[in-house]
A and B are shown apart, each in its own frame.
Chain A
Amino acid sequence: MKILIVDDDPIVIQSCCRILEAEGMETRTANTVKTGEKLLAENIFDLMLTGIKMPGRDGFEMIQRAKKIRPDMPVLIMTGYLTSGTVEKSRRFGVSNYIAKPFTPEELVAAVRKARSVCEK
């Protein structure tokens, strides 16, 4: 399974890579929307995991572009605090699942699985 991780904080990317790789997944990372977009265009991913708050172009911008390139790819978002506003907006952008930071490895893996299964339906 090939997963694209987008976030501006390297420690978050590193944490995610560590957890997902331990599960035997292949990961590619981007710390800006621009690199993320480039990677998306060159590769086929099974899932994109992205943060929401990023300097410059934010997570929703990333999702928008990703959906243009790969409309069928599931999207999982990470956020500091889930509000009904975020939930509502995510639904409009076609987000498959959410996870609140901080999380344990088990929680992240479960969220990724759920996102993929939601998308397959």
Chain B
Amino acid sequence: MLFHLIKIHSIRFKLIASLIAVSLLIGLISILVGGNLLYQSVLDEANNRIRQDLNVARVIYDERADTVRLALAITASATEFRKAVASDSRMIVSEALRDLSDRLKLDFLGLTDARGRVTNRYGAAGPEKTPLLSANPLVLRVLEEHKTVAGTMVLDGDKLLAENPSLANQAYINVHAVPETTDAATRQDTVALTIGAAVPVFADGHPAGVIYGGYLLNRDTAIVDKIGETVFKNEVYKGHNVGTATIFYDNFRIATSVKDPSGNRALGTVASPEVTRRVLDQGEKWTDRARVLDDWYITAYEPIKDIMGKRVGMLYVGVLEAKYADVREKAIAVFTGITLAGVIVAIILGWLFTGRIMRPVSHLIRASAEISGGNFSPDVGPISKDDIGHLQKEFLIMTEALKEREKSQMAESEIRLIQSEKQASVGKLAAGVAHEINNPLTAVLTFTHMILRRKDLPDEVRSDLETVASQTERIRGIVKSLLDFSRQTVLTPEPLDINRLIEDSVRLLENQALIKGIHLSFTGDDDLPVFTLDHNQCQSVLINMIINALDATSSGGKIEIQTQKTGTADDSGVEIRISDTGSGISPDHMDKLFDPFFTTKEVGKGTGLGLAVSAGIIQRHGGTINVHSKLESGTTFTLWLPHQPINAHPETDTGQEDQS
């Protein structure tokens, strides 16, 4: 029973294991493929977005110059201002410039005359006593082209100093060499990147001067923070700004929202050589993941050109990659969760499922155990509607069949037992009686025959005596049969051709059949091997059976005898069928056929010992006798004899045999 339970469980576990394997496989594949696909598309998305972000940043950057240009243009177009410039009315000009500077919070602001001499510098150390020619590239461009100019330009220390002495300080940036950069030495630079505009001032159609202004970008926070605010909504992730923006002069940061580990803006740090080469040297836009200080960013760079179109710096925006890497981690976590849930569901489903399947199966197993224990009506549990149901039904049919067989087998063996007991006791009795009868019978035979020898007997007496003699002969026959029956006569087996034996027996009775008008035929199987049988005893069995058939069959009937080889190797043997078209045997008589003294024949014709003796003989040869009969249509006796006879029955007690 335990063995069966383990088996059940192993099926259950196999099922669950395969369900788990399937869900794990699917889970792992989705983690690997799905996670990466998702991450990749997120990265692509991030790359696209960063490019757009860079565009917005560029707009914000350019807007800065535009604002200046617009304000300057408005001022320059005011009639009053134009007149004041033309008439060099300093009071009015100063007033206008102050107003402008206050509004725009410009880092530098100035005015030149038509030849470029600085007449006014707002925010400078002091009013110019001796007007100098402006060295500001903006002014120079305007003087050249008589058109408004706006954009980026580089101002070195001297020019800065000239514009506004305080700017030189602000512009000063300590450049940190990053180890991998070729330019290993620490650089100090007061060269500054500025953004601004210059507008020509016309009076009466003639250029009267240039008004210019702008912002210093070094250490400027306005642009980068505005980018952070508008583009990235100042989103913070794990203490870091998600979005960062930087303005590079050359390859180092002069304005940035990137913070170093101590929380200061990472001014003076240098861009990677790769970026420098691609963006600054080759003028490309560049988008990729890049290491900015210690973190990985998805970044976009583009060059900043000055008003002359020369690449002087770079504009950068970047988003923290960690945020997107997290998407992958989150995806993996979710997929893992789903996989685990799948496994749990697999276990639960598998358990319930196998429970459902195995319940009837374990019922069946228990039932078969009960059957082998002898209970032929075991409980197989409720019949299920699936394939197992078929099994259960088949099982029930099988148990029914087993029950039937067991019953009939039991009945058969009971009959056989009763039969052999009956035979044994009847046999003993018969033997005893027969022996007692032998001696007086000897006397009767002797004296009857002695008297019959006398010549002087009257005919009447002689005929009476002859009757006595013949009836005594009959008694002698009965006693002989009785003894034959009761004796477990020892077999004297010899090699025998069964077909020959039957042919001989048939020949002995052919005449009788002819007289009665019965067709007696024999068909032998040519394939029969040589059997080892007791010739006389077997012949007496055959003769008795043929005589019985002759007795039961009336004129015109048929008696057919057939032999047929059966089985192979170990259980091989021969079947001898004796069929007649006679009266048949009444079912009431069927179970008495083999009883000694059972006969339906008239007194003097049958002893009722033929079949009883035959049964004993066949049994001693290890064979069987079967009867099949139908009233009014005939009877078939089927003898079966094994090729290898069950070995020698022990000789019965000689002492008993030798009774005299």
**Do the two shown chains form a genuine complex with each other?**
yes
The answer, yes or no, to whether A66 is at the interface (CB within 8 Å) is no
Query: Which residues B612-660 have CB closer than 8 A to chain A?
Result: 651, 654, 657-660
| Stretch of A26-34, A68-76, A96-104 contacting B (4+ beta carbons < 8 Å) | A96-104
Q: Check B487 against A83 for contact (C-beta < 8 Å).
A: yes
Instruction: Give the distance to chain B from A56, nearest Cβ to Cβ, in Å.
Output: 14
Bound-state Cα–Cα, A52 to B659, Å: 7
The proximity string for B residues 464-477 relative to A, scoring 1 for CB distances below 8 Å and 0 otherwise, is 00000000100010
Chain A residue, CB-CB nearest to B654: A85
Q: Check A80 against B447 for contact (C-beta < 8 Å).
A: no
Instruction: Give the distance to chain A from B387, nearest Cβ to Cβ, in Å.
Output: 65
The answer, yes or no, to whether B140 is at the interface (CB within 8 Å) is no
| Stretch of B316-324, B431-439, B562-570 contacting A (4+ beta carbons < 8 Å) | B431-439
Chain B residue, CB-CB nearest to A82: B657
Q: Check B442 against A15 for contact (C-beta < 8 Å).
A: yes
Q: Check B654 against A101 for contact (C-beta < 8 Å).
A: no
Instruction: Give the distance to chain B from A33, nearest Cβ to Cβ, in Å.
Output: 14
Q: Check B434 against A89 for contact (C-beta < 8 Å).
A: no
**Chain A residues whose CB sits within 8 angstroms of the CB of B483 once the complex forms:** 80-81
Chain A residue, CB-CB nearest to B475: A102
Query: Which residues A77-91 have CB closer than 8 A to chain B?
Result: 78-81, 83-86, 89
The proximity string for B residues 422-443 relative to A, scoring 1 for CB distances below 8 Å and 0 otherwise, is 0000000000001100111111
Q: Check B659 against A80 for contact (C-beta < 8 Å).
A: yes
Instruction: Give the distance to chain B from A62, nearest Cβ to Cβ, in Å.
Output: 12
The answer, yes or no, to whether B174 is at the interface (CB within 8 Å) is no
Instruction: Give the distance to chain B from A74, nearest Cβ to Cβ, in Å.
Output: 19
Q: Check A101 against B487 for contact (C-beta < 8 Å).
A: no
Instruction: Give the distance to chain B from A105, nearest Cβ to Cβ, in Å.
Output: 5
The answer, yes or no, to whether B445 is at the interface (CB within 8 Å) is yes
Q: Check A79 against B658 for contact (C-beta < 8 Å).
A: yes
| The one of A7, A53, A102 that contacts B441, using a Cβ cutoff of 8 Å | A102
The answer, yes or no, to whether A42 is at the interface (CB within 8 Å) is no
The answer, yes or no, to whether A22 is at the interface (CB within 8 Å) is yes
The answer, yes or no, to whether B1 is at the interface (CB within 8 Å) is no
Bound-state Cα–Cα, A54 to B490, Å: 24
Q: Check B441 against A86 for contact (C-beta < 8 Å).
A: no
Q: A11-B440, A14-B443 are in contact. Are A81 and B450 (CB under 8 A)?
A: no
Q: A22-B450, A86-B654 are in contact. Are A51 and B442 (CB under 8 A)?
A: no
**Chain B residues whose CB sits within 8 angstroms of the CB of A83 once the complex forms:** 487, 489-490, 654, 657-658
Bound-state Cα–Cα, A101 to B490, Å: 20
Q: A80-B438, A84-B492, A102-B441 are in contact. Are A19 and B659 (CB under 8 A)?
A: no
**Chain A residues whose CB sits within 8 angstroms of the CB of B476 once the complex forms:** 102
Q: A9-B439, A11-B443 are in contact. Are A86 and B657 (CB under 8 A)?
A: yes
**Chain B residues whose CB sits within 8 angstroms of the CB of A59 once the complex forms:** 658, 660
The answer, yes or no, to whether A113 is at the interface (CB within 8 Å) is no
Bound-state Cα–Cα, A101 to B447, Å: 14
Bound-state Cα–Cα, A114 to B400, Å: 68
Q: A19-B450, A102-B438, A105-B449 are in contact. Are A51 and B443 (CB under 8 A)?
A: no
Q: A89-B654, A101-B439, A102-B476 are in contact. Are A80 and B660 (CB under 8 A)?
A: yes
Q: Check A79 against B442 for contact (C-beta < 8 Å).
A: no
Chain A residue, CB-CB nearest to B452: A105
The answer, yes or no, to whether B600 is at the interface (CB within 8 Å) is no
Size category, B interface: 20 to 34
**Chain B residues whose CB sits within 8 angstroms of the CB of A120 once the complex forms:** none
Query: Which residues B489-529 have CB closer than 8 A to chain A?
Result: 489-490, 492
**Chain B residues whose CB sits within 8 angstroms of the CB of A40 once the complex forms:** none
Query: Which residues B525-544 have CB closer than 8 A to chain A?
Result: none
Query: Which residues A33-52 have CB closer than 8 A to chain B?
Result: 51-52
**Chain B residues whose CB sits within 8 angstroms of the CB of A22 once the complex forms:** 450, 453
**Chain A residues whose CB sits within 8 angstroms of the CB of B79 once the complex forms:** none
Q: A12-B439, A85-B654, A86-B658 are in contact. Are A80 and B449 (CB under 8 A)?
A: no
Bound-state Cα–Cα, A104 to B449, Å: 7
Q: A11-B440, A52-B658 are in contact. Are A81 and B446 (CB under 8 A)?
A: no
The answer, yes or no, to whether A18 is at the interface (CB within 8 Å) is yes
Instruction: Give the distance to chain B from A110, nearest Cβ to Cβ, in Å.
Output: 13
Q: A15-B443, A85-B490, A102-B445 are in contact. Are A53 and B450 (CB under 8 A)?
A: no
Bound-state Cα–Cα, A58 to B659, Å: 10
Instruction: Give the distance to chain B from A116, nearest Cβ to Cβ, in Å.
Output: 20
Q: Check B657 against A81 for contact (C-beta < 8 Å).
A: yes
Chain A residue, CB-CB nearest to B490: A84
**Chain B residues whose CB sits within 8 angstroms of the CB of A104 once the complex forms:** 445-446, 449
Chain A residue, CB-CB nearest to B472: A102
| The one of A9, A15, A51, A85 that contacts B447, using a Cβ cutoff of 8 Å | A15
Q: Check A51 against B438 for contact (C-beta < 8 Å).
A: no
Bound-state Cα–Cα, A79 to B445, Å: 16
Q: Check A106 against B449 for contact (C-beta < 8 Å).
A: yes
Bound-state Cα–Cα, A102 to B442, Å: 4
Instruction: Give the distance to chain B from A25, nearest Cβ to Cβ, in Å.
Output: 14
Bound-state Cα–Cα, A46 to B659, Å: 26
Instruction: Give the distance to chain B from A19, nearest Cβ to Cβ, in Å.
Output: 6
Q: Which of A9, A52, A81, A104 has the most CB of B within 10 A?
A: A81
**Chain A residues whose CB sits within 8 angstroms of the CB of B441 once the complex forms:** 101-102
Chain A residue, CB-CB nearest to B659: A53
List of 10 A-B pairs having minimum Cβ-Cβ separation, nearest first: A15-B446, A102-B441, A53-B660, A102-B442, A85-B654, A83-B657, A101-B438, A51-B660, A53-B659, A11-B443
What are 19 inter-chain pairs, A to B, with CB distance below 8 A?
A15-B442, A18-B446, A18-B447, A19-B450, A52-B660, A59-B660, A78-B660, A81-B434, A83-B654, A85-B651, A86-B654, A86-B657, A101-B438, A101-B439, A101-B441, A102-B441, A102-B442, A102-B476, A105-B449
A11-B439, A11-B442, A16-B446 known; 5 other A-B pairs, CB under 8 Å?
Answer: A18-B446, A19-B450, A22-B453, A53-B660, A83-B487
A residues engaging B (CB < 8 A)? Answer: 7, 9, 11-12, 14-16, 18-19, 22, 51-54, 58-59, 78-81, 83-86, 89, 101-106
